[in-house]
Amino acid sequence: MQDNPESLPSTGFGPCAGIPAEHTASIRQILDRIGDKWSLLVIAVLDDGPLRYTDLQHAVAGISQRMLTVTLRQLTHDGLVTRTSYPEVPPRVEYALTPLSRGLLDPVTTLIAWASNHHEEIHRNRTGTTESAHSRNT
């Protein structure tokens, strides 16, 4: 007897409550991809339009050539970025967002803005600066 997918239990609580159990592994993989720091930044940078590899590397501060190559390959494989090669001399390749990834722009830019707005506070928490200042005052 095969289980009807609609009869399988969903997982967890909160936003996970409605997710069928058989989808959780796939959803975790997707979240891993789009939650990766380099993927988020590449998607955000491509919001302004298609870019060549070198332009992307300059726009995403701190990314190594290898990490950019791996990230672009993964985003392309997942259908979040297109890679267009133009038959010119010298060859030109551009990367752009797909309609699928355009739906990610609002959450991605919101997350990046939040991180930018709170990075100092989080840094203080990580280094214990807030705690030691609080300890001195008590």
According to the model, what pLDDT value does residue 35 have?
Answer: 81
The full 3-state SS of the chain, as one line of letters, equals: CCCCHHHCCECCCHHHCCCEHHHHHHHHHHHHHHHCHHHHHHHHHHHHCCEEHHHHHHHCCCCCHHHHHHHHHHHHHCCCEEEEEECCCCCEEEEEECHHHHCCHHHHHHHHHHHHHHHHHHHHHHHCHHHHHHHHHC
According to the model, what pLDDT value does residue 11 have?
Answer: 56
According to the model, what pLDDT value does residue 73 have?
Answer: 96
According to the model, what pLDDT value does residue 22 have?
Answer: 81
Burial of 76 (0-12, 13-18, 19+ CB in 10 A): middle
Cα(132)–Cα(83) distance, integer angstroms: 50
Q: What is the pTM of this model?
A: 0.74
CB 82 within 8 A of CB 96: yes
Give per-10-residue mean pLDDT for the chain (138 aa). Answer: 47 72 81 86 94 96 96 95 93 95 90 90 85 51
